[in-house]
Structure 1
Amino acid sequence: MTNFIKVATLDDVSEGEMYAIEVDGEPVCLTRVEGQIYAFTDNCTHISGPLNDGELEGCVVTCPWHGAQFDVRTGQVLRGPARQDLYTYPVKVEDNAIFISLPDEEYSE
């Protein structure tokens, strides 16, 4: 059974902006693209650059350190130097609350 944790409200996450949070010790970034909320690990898979400090254009986030790009909807690497996709979290919105599901214990980056 998947457990969802409340992490923010819809008012916290503006369209086209990134909202950094920490959930159970993990850095997570929330964003809203075309009205949809997405959640992904806030560390670039190249050398852990803080993605929330990067640029978001449409659904593409660019790491501020070395320019790696990812699709925030899927976590897919779009441009190196990163080679590993971002971990994306399942998101659920109820009323005004945003919930994400953390990975199982055996997940590790």
Structure 2
Amino acid sequence: MDMVKVCRYDKVPRDGAIAVQVDGTPVAVVRSGDNLYAISDVCSHAEVSLSEGEIYDNTIECWLHGSCFDLRTGEPTNPPATESVATYRVEIDGDDIYVSLDPIA
């Protein structure tokens, strides 16, 4: 799938996330330190927005029940979530962020 422009880099807060849509799919664009990630914006446990959670140690924490997901792999790092969430390719071109819904292999 092609890369889709989703936002400007300066719209994503440091150690924070924003919610975007890529072809109708909810995606959280996340900055953790100097790293940029794109991950499903839907918690696999409670189906709430992950982009509203806290970012630390390359994880995002679901605000509802506290499950954390590794931003690199989408794997849950603690319960109650047991299922992974999708991670996506993300690139910066100039001041713009692009995401592809092709899963990271």
1:76 aligns with 2:79: no
Alpha-carbon distance between aligned partners in 2 of 1:35 and 1:59, rounded to the nearest angstrom: 10
Consecutive unaligned residues in structure 1, runs of 5 or more: 105-109
Post-superposition offset of 1:67: 1.2
Cα shift at 1:17: 1.0
What corresponds to 1:33 in structure 2? 32
Give the aligned residue type for 2:3: F
Unaligned stretches of 5+ residues in structure 2: none
Q: Secondary structure at the match of 1:31?
A: strand
Give me the whole-angstrom Cα distance separating, in 2, the residues matched to 1:72 and 1:21: 16
State whether structure 2 residue 39 is matched by structure 1 residue 46.
no
Tell whether 2:58 aligns with 1:59: yes
CA distance, structure 1, for counterparts of residue 81 and residue 74 of structure 2: 11
Give me the whole-angstrom Cα distance separating, in 2, the residues matched to 1:53 and 1:35: 19
Structure (1 or 2) with the larger CA radius of gyration: 1
How many residue pairs end up in the alignment? 103
Runs of 4+ in 1 over 4 A off after TM superposition: none
- Provide the secondary structure at the position in 1 that maps to 2:30: strand
Q: Distance in 1 between matches of 2:72 and 2:92?
A: 16
| Whole-angstrom CA distance in 1 between matches of 2:59 and 2:24 | 25
Give the TM-score, by structure 2 length: 0.88
Question: What do you get for the CA RMSD once the two structures are aligned?
Answer: 1.5
Contact 2:42 2:48 in 1 (8 A): yes
Deviation at 1:98, TM superposition (A): 0.6
Residue 20 of structure 1 corresponds to 19
